[in-house]
Amino acid sequence: MKAFTYVNAANEKEAIAALQSAERGRMLPMAGGMDLLGLMKDYIVSPERVVSIKGLDQTIAAGDGGLKIGAAVKIADLAEHAVARKMFPALVTAAEGVGTPQIRNMGTVGGNIMQRPRCWYFRNEEFNCLKKGGSRCFAVEGENQFHAIFGDGPCHIVHPSSLAVPVIAYGGRFRVAGPNGAREIDAGEFFQLPNANLYGENVLQPNEIITHVILPAPGQKSASYEVRFKQSHDWPLAAASVNLVMSGPTVKSARIVMGAVAPIPWRVPAAERVLAGKAITEAIATDAANAAVAGARPMSGNKYKIQIARTAVKRAILAAIRA
């Protein structure tokens, strides 16, 4: 690991002051450090200054019918928060599924959303892949069983954040702050495909940080469902979050987002339209799930993910309606 200086910022103002640099990557924030330290040890990032942002807001507060979650809230604390459990079960299910108790106790909400892709070519310093300034995505002709089935490349990562998927399903926003002040960004507009941003995954400017996740009032029914290789500590192979606004037994509107299938959390309006105006039955959930995966373009080793993603969407819909 390259030597670096360390600044412990007591609050948002100190964090922003300590992160001032025109050059992307020279100063980096560290929350729980679960992801950042691994990236530094593998020389994927080599900041000159690491700024601890554990001093950011660590509270979960009610507001405007929803919740305002501080970026420094531990994933474990979100998973155990009684109001979050009641109002935002899709988010709490996703939080409960993250890694192991140790990871949930160290990892923060902000760090989870900002974690970098797990692609083994990106993570291995021996591979100068597209995302690191190289000329090719090694997954195209290589080991691509965990890579994207949507998004059309040219880099085929999947976005690793379990929490980002339900945040988008709930119509959440991120409050971000930086040297030019604070702003709010619709979570659905936050993440970027590689053809818009090859070297990053989102619209955050250098030296901006996420300070809060803001969730508006949820629909009456919501749920997440994740499929994992084994029920232990790995990232999901596919996931889905569903948020339904109901009028009696009928769906007025739906938001459905898939995870681990594309370089960004993948919202599926075609599947949402299948549910709108209907009372959900197993057959309708199946139709929506089929619509969700209709445009998938798998690679040589990940065709199996289509069926898994379809199952995740169907089970998330049925879990929401039965809750």
Ligand X SMILES: Cc1cc2nc3c(=O)[nH]c(=O)nc-3n(C[C@H](O)[C@H](O)[C@H](O)COP(=O)(O)OP(=O)(O)OC[C@H]3O[C@@H](n4cnc5c(N)ncnc54)[C@H](O)[C@@H]3O)c2cc1C
Nearer Cβ to ligand X (219/236): 236
Q: Give the type of residue at 61.
A: A
Residue 104: CB atoms within 10 Å: 23
DSSP state of 161: -
Nearer Cβ to ligand X (226/272): 226
158 binds ligand X per the rule CB under 6 A: no
Nearer Cβ to ligand X (108/243): 108
Residue numbers 95-124 binding ligand X by CB under 6 A: 97-99, 103, 106-108, 110-112, 114-116
State which of residues 30, 67, 223, 271 lies at the interface with ligand X (CB under 6 A). 30
Q: Would you give the binding string for ligand X spanning residues 284-323, x where CB under 6 A is met? A: ----------------------------------------
Q: Would you give the binding string for ligand X spanning residues 246-275, x where CB under 6 A is met? A: ------------------------------
Residue numbers 196-215 binding ligand X by CB under 6 A: 209-210
Quote the least distance from Cβ 190 to ligand X, whole Å. Answer: 11
Smallest Cα–Cα separation from 285: which of 258, 317, 257, 248?
317
Residue ranges of the alpha helices (H) in the chain? Answer: 12-18, 36-41, 75-79, 82-87, 89-97, 101-106, 109-114, 120-123, 164-169, 187-190, 269-275, 282-293, 304-322
Nearer Cβ to ligand X (197/220): 197
Q: How much of the chain is helix, strand and coil, in % rounded to 5?
A: 30, 25, 45
Quote the least distance from Cβ 152 to ligand X, whole Å. Answer: 23
* Cα 268-270-273 angle, rounded to 5 deg: 115
235 binds ligand X per the rule CB under 6 A: yes
Quote the least distance from Cβ 73 to ligand X, whole Å. Answer: 10
Q: Would you give the binding string for ligand X spanning residues 63-92, x where CB under 6 A is met? A: --------x---x-----------------
Q: How far apart are CA 189 and CA 301, in angstroms?
A: 30
What are the φ/ψ torsions at residue 30 (nearest 5 degrees)? -130, 125
Provide CB contacts within 8 A for 303, sequence distance 6+.
Answer: none
5-8 and 49-52: which strand pairing? parallel
State which of residues 16, 28, 90, 313 lies at the interface with ligand X (CB under 6 A). 28
Q: How far apart are CA 60 and CA 170, in angstroms?
A: 16
Nearer Cβ to ligand X (66/110): 110
161 binds ligand X per the rule CB under 6 A: yes
Q: How far apart are CA 295 and CA 191, in angstroms?
A: 20
Q: How far apart are CA 79 and CA 125, in angstroms?
A: 34
State which of residues 12, 29, 242, 308 lies at the interface with ligand X (CB under 6 A). 29
Quote the least distance from Cβ 242 to ligand X, whole Å. Answer: 18
Nearer Cβ to ligand X (122/221): 122
Quote the least distance from Cβ 108 to ligand X, whole Å. Answer: 3
Residue pair 79/104 in contact (Cβ under 8 Å)? The answer is yes
Quote the least distance from Cβ 216 to ligand X, whole Å. Answer: 20
For binding to ligand X (CB under 6 A), which residues are involved? 28-36, 53, 71, 75, 97-99, 103, 106-108, 110-112, 114-116, 160-162, 209-210, 233-236
